[in-house]
């Protein structure tokens, strides 16, 4: 996995949310959480696994919505941040964090109702193997996002500390079909890449996000979107 050593540093984990989801990054956080909630709802009493859960942004949110959640990550430093969030939110009874390798998920087949991963596939050295594992432990649904090759994301990709794997939409669909999944919905967003929003204050980002959203509703904006969210179901 790209950047494993960097990702597991304690100082990286402690600064992770502030660096990515403060200032203009708040718009990224809101959109990602909306995408996850829209795809996985209803959540009451559902068993959910998040692969590469990081600091628990989504796991805590889903537990608050009534799901029984497992958050899995390779970084113990990231998991410590997630446990602190779970404690603060009072959802420790329905949320478990565990350190494990996404390439060998320590669960039996069909163990979860839904399995999802955000900010994961751009780092995966073998995406086919990883999505196959996600499908194996899911009884019903697999949800994930990708960063898109033919977009502004490619312009600054070289500057990222861990690098980034970009996907064409055809490649993402082939990934879905190859894992024995059926695509039921796809959403495409952010003509302006994430790095742009993270670099500017929230009040500056707001009008850009408004214009970005309006452009994203057009056919041109859809083609230029830097991020795609893929909602799939396990084939019968």
CATH numbers and ranges of domains, the chain: 4-229 (3.40.50.150)
Please classify residue 92 by burial: count the beta carbons closer than 10 Å to its beta carbon, then call 0-12 exposed, 13-18 middle and 19+ buried.
Answer: middle
Confidence of residue 6 (pLDDT cuts 50, 70, 90): very low
User: Which band of pLDDT confidence, cut at 50, 70 and 90, is reported for residue 15?
Assistant: low
Percent over 90 (pLDDT), the chain: 83
Average pLDDT over residues 101-108: 95
**Mean pLDDT, residues 28-57:** 97
Angle at which helices 25-40 and 202-216 pack, to 10 degrees? 50
> How confident is the model at residue 10, as a pLDDT?
58
In whole angstroms, how far apart are CA 224 and each of 133, 161, 183, 230? 30, 24, 21, 16
pLDDT at 136 over 70: yes
Band of pLDDT at residue 219, cut at 50, 70 and 90: very high
Q: Which range, 15-29, 89-103, 146-160, has the best average confidence (pLDDT)?
A: 89-103
Region 4-8 average pLDDT: 51
Report whether pLDDT(226) > 70: yes
Residue 53, classified by CB atoms within 10 Å of its CB into exposed (0-12), middle (13-18) or buried (19+), is: buried
Averaged pLDDT, 185-211: 95
In sequence order, the 6+-apart residues with CB closer than 8 A to the CB of 174 are: none
Q: Tokens 């019968």 belong to which residue?
A: 236
Percent of the chain with pLDDT over 70: 90
CB 107 within 8 A of CB 133: no
| Percent of residues in the chain assigned helix, strand, coil, to nearest 5 | 45, 20, 30
Instruction: Compute CA distances 10 → 33, 80, 162, 172, whole Å.
Output: 24, 9, 16, 32
How would residue 134 be classed by pLDDT, with cut points 50, 70 and 90? very high
Flag whether pLDDT at 48 surpasses 80: yes
pLDDT at 14: 66
Residue 142 above 60 pLDDT?
Answer: yes
Spatial distance between the Cα atoms of 8 and 97, rounded to a whole number of angstroms: 15
Dist CA 27 CA 209 (whole Å): 8
CB neighbour list of residue 178: distance below 8 Å, 6 or more residues apart: 128, 131, 132
The pTM of the full predicted model, rounded to 2 decimals, is: 0.93
Q: Which residue has the higher pLDDT, 139 or 11?
A: 139
pLDDT value of position 227: 97
């Amino acid at each position: 996995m790209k950047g494993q050593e960097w990702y597991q540093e304690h100082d990286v984990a402690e600064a992770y949310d502030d660096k990515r989801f403060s200032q203009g990054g708040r718009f990224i956080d809101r959109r990602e959480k909306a995408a996850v909630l829209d795809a996985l709802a209803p959540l009451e009493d559902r068993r959910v696994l998040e692969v590469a859960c990081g600091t628990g942004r989504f796991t805590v949110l889903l537990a608050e919505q009534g799901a029984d959640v497992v958050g899995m990550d390779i970084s113990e430093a990231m998991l410590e941040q997630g446990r602190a969030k779970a404690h603060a939110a009072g959802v420790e009874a329905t949320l478990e964090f565990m350190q494990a390798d996404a390439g060998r998920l320590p669960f039996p087949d069909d163990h979860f109702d839904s399995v999802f991963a955000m900010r994961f596939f751009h780092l995966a050295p073998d995406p086919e193997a990883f999505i196959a594992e996600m499908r194996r432990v899911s009884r019903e649904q697999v949800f994930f996002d990708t960063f898109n090759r033919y977009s502004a994301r490619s312009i600054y990709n070289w500057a990222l500390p861990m690098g980034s794997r970009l996907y064409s939409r055809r490649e993402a669909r082939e990934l879905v079909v190859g894992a024995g999944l059926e695509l039921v919905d796809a959403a495409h967003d952010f003509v302006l890449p994430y790095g742009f929003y993270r670099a500017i204050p929230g009040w500056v980002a707001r009008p850009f996000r408004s214009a970005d959203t309006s452009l994203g509703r057009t056919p041109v904006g859809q083609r230029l979107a830097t991020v795609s969210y893929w909602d799939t179901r396990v084939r019968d």
